[in-house]
Amino acid sequence: MAQSAREQLLDLLATNSFRLGEFTLSSGLKSDYYVDCRTTTLHARGAELTGQVFLELFRQQGWKAAAVGGLTMGADPIVVAAAVVSSHAGYPIHGFLVRKAEKSHGMGRRVEGFQEKGANVIIVDDVCTTGSSTIQAIEAAREFGFNVVGVACLVEREEAGGRPAVEKAAAPAPFISIFKANEVKARLKQASN
């Protein structure tokens, strides 16, 4: 039986993105593992699977959105993958990226790409630990004038209070994770045996 896109993506995350060892996370927290989703979301097959899996999640949740976006840089490949796959599926969802700070030159924007105020949008991120980057994207999207209808991350670390913080910031929009870190770790162990 052929594996689903979700199962294939989980395999790629486990083998390409999950590392055991001692790491300092962007939040400053110490961890015995690291998940670098970009090695999967920027992988040719991984990008396609990422787009398919996120698009399926949007459908399952009933999230009708004009665009998908998130804080640069973790969200960038997810946004592009979802936009491309949605276009191929016949119902395009555009993309936008949120800068960490407004540009001091050019148009001076913090939100780049899709620019329709009042539009329904979905916020995405690659990894959620404390949730700070996801929360920054939610706040910037709302400040811009978007209506956030859903929030999703590829891998949730299930630590450091990330889920409750994101759920509070996202409310009333729901927060969904595609995978939990323990699920990726278990797949890595399974592949090693």
Contact 67, 98 (CB under 8 A): no
Say if domain 5-192 classifies as CATH 3.40.50.920.
no
Helices (H), ranges, the chain: 5-12, 38-41, 44-61, 76-88, 132-144, 162-170, 181-192
Nearest to residue 68, comparing CAs of 88, 58, 117?
58
Q: Tell me the pLDDT tens digit for each residue of 98-145.
A: 998 665 555 568 899 999 999 999 999 999 988 999 999 999 999 999
The answer on pLDDT for 76 being more than 70 is yes
How much is the pTM?
A: 0.93
∠ Cα 190 163 142 (to 5°) = 130
Question: Average pLDDT, stretch 86-99?
Answer: 96
Per-domain residue ranges for the chain?
5-192
- Share above pLDDT 90 across residues of the chain, in percent, rounded to a whole number: 77
